[in-house]
Amino acid sequence: MAFILSFVIAIALAFHQVDGEYAVLRASTNSESKDFCVTYYPLWHDLPTELSAAPQYEYQLVPIEDLCSNEDDDYSNDYSNEAVFSWEKSLPNCTFTDRVVNAQSRNATELVIVNTNDQLFIAVASSPADYNMSKIPLAVMTKSDFQTMQALGKFAFVQLYVPPIAAIDTNLVVIWLLAVGTIVIGAYWSGVIANEQREKSAENKASSGSSSEEEEAAMQITPLMVVIFVVFICLFLLLVYYLYKYVVYIIIGVFAIASASGMFECLNALALKLPFCTCRVRVPSFINRSGDVLVKSVIVLAFSLGIAIWWVIVRNESYGWVLQDILGVLFCISLLKNLRLPSLKICSLLLILLLIYDVFFVFITPLFSAGHNSVMVDVATGEGHKEQLPMVLKVPRIIRSALLICERRDYSLLGFGDILVPGLFVSFCHSFDRMAKTPYRIYYVASSIAYGVGLIITFAALYLMKEGQPALVYLVPSTLLTVIVISLIRKEFCDLWHGTYRFSHPTIQPLVQSDNEENCEYDRDNDTGSTGTKRRFACGHTFDFIHPYGSGAKRKAWFIRESTDMDAFSRSENDT
């Protein structure tokens, strides 16, 4: 139900129409027309929302001194049925209100202030009461746009209007579906693989008493390694920021190879389940140790490499984002399947450190960077560069609007880190669910839903703040707190924290029991019986704690047993 509710909210936000402080100026001649982005303040005067409802006017460039003059010269200063353009210039006793009042007193229909640089600003009145004096709209245009408009010729007609635009377009719904779907599939696959490895480990331990190197490697992730990893990410981000024009091509090449590998792994797993095309071909031993591979695997490999090469060639085309998203989704699913975290402790440390990293490079770096820009946003969007890093899901606006010319880009982005980092946590939750046999895979389902809700909160913050958001600020608390609360209610927090399970639940049986001997201690403090009656003993079996990824440690599970025979039990050693 929460999943459906989240999706409905995303749809509602997607189609909510808003009017902002941007408008479109259409300049047209008999042969061509161009749209330009302008800013305006609605309190001066409303603008129509449809081009067909916007009146056409000839335009005239007027010196600022004329607009600031109160002298009435009907011959030289009459702007009847014309849109007045004037260069911005600060003059004493000449406010925006003065210019609007003087322009409309000379029959101007619109007033457009042309800034002396390529920056837009909002022209506001000195006091709220001044807006009541205006009967014409006031807009602001950049210098370069005005010069482009002048190149159309002096007989161009201009129109001002505010086309409606979705505050959060349906492209965010597509991104939401891609991100949530990637995590759900990747985490599920990861849990299945982890469970298979765990069962194999149990069989190996039962027969040989040893665990595989792969399982032991999964256990060797320490907090120090997590800290070093996050520091490396910070240094790498700074390297990309300062050497972007060189590093970007290296990252493009690495992504092409890695995404082709991810696509092959995902598609080959599906191909192996198909009952046909089971013939094999000989290959060199360095490619496959067995010396032969399935023909369908070769076909899948060729297809994956072809898609990756195709993306490299057309990555800057209008449809390049489709290939990038396909490769990106399969790349993330492959990583989630192969990378696993061992415990809630490691997951929490990684998520919290990356949350701090996200906040610092999005919100803090603009305070001391040269252009007061966010390092993270500049790197993600490739600000000022032709090439863009491919490590993002990228979806253009599906509902088109003329007002998109006012945006620096007409597409939305979600970094792979905002999928992989929470995805590793969801993968751990699913592995724990399968190990502990929790009802309805409660941790996997809850963390997946929490991720979807957190992503919607991210989109809502994007809509409210009108700027790029560090998604982990919303995704980490929503996923982490959800799982912690559920684990506290189910009294499994310690098991999750250490990544082990005691099998203390009466319906759960241990996968491996290391011995059949019971070590019992006489419970003298709680024994109230007399000689010849039943006595209380605290007894225990030594079990293996089973880790989500196959490894564990010996622990003792205690229970109470009553007996009349004091000599039937031997005193146990301390809990190991």
Residue 75 neighbours by CB under 8 Å, 6+ apart: none
- 3-state secondary structure at position 530: coil
- 3-state secondary structure at position 279: coil
Q: What's the sign of the alpha-carbon dihedral 513, 514, 516, 520?
A: negative
CA distance 535 to 564: 6
Helix (H) or strand (E) holding 195: helix 170-208
Q: Which residue matches tokens 């027309």?
A: 33
CA distance 244 to 380: 11
Catalytic residue among 418, 433, 495, 544: 418
CA distance 329 to 327: 6
Neighbouring C-beta atoms of residue 353, cutoff 10 Å: 18
DSSP letter assigned to residue 513: B
Rounded to a whole number of angstroms, the distance between the first and last alpha carbons of the chain is: 45
Query: Cα 459 to chain center, whole Å?
Result: 10
73 is catalytic: no
Both tokens assigned to 40: 């305006």
418 is catalytic: yes
Pairing mode, strands 33-40 and 280-282: unpaired
Q: Which of 17, 274, 287, 66 is nearest to 166 (CA)?
A: 17
Q: What are phi and psi of 350, to 5 degrees?
A: -65, -45
Catalytic residue among 35, 358, 378, 544: 358
Residue 81 neighbours by CB under 8 Å, 6+ apart: 57, 58, 107, 109
User: Which residues make beta-bridge pairs with 543?
Assistant: 513, 555
Q: Which of 35, 30, 94 is nearest to 68 (CA)?
A: 94
DSSP letter assigned to residue 59: E
CA distance 368 to 361: 11
In the chain, what is the greatest distance between 2 CA atoms, to the nearest angstrom? 126
| DSSP string computed for 382-421 | TTT-S---SSEEEEE-SS--GGGGGSS-SEEEEETHHHHH
Both tokens assigned to 557: 């599970």
Q: Which residue matches tokens 């101007």?
A: 108
Number of helical (H) and strand (E) elements in the chain, helices listed first: 16, 16
Neighbouring C-beta atoms of residue 529, cutoff 10 Å: 11
| DSSP string computed for 297-343 | HHHHHHHHHHHHHHHHHHTTSTTHHHHHHHHHHHHHHHHHHH-----
How would you class 424 by CB atoms within 10 Å of its CB: exposed for 0-12, middle for 13-18, buried for 19 or more?
buried
Q: What's the sign of the alpha-carbon dihedral 281, 284, 290, 293?
A: negative
CA distance 176 to 456: 8
Both tokens assigned to 481: 């707190």
Catalytic residues: 358, 418
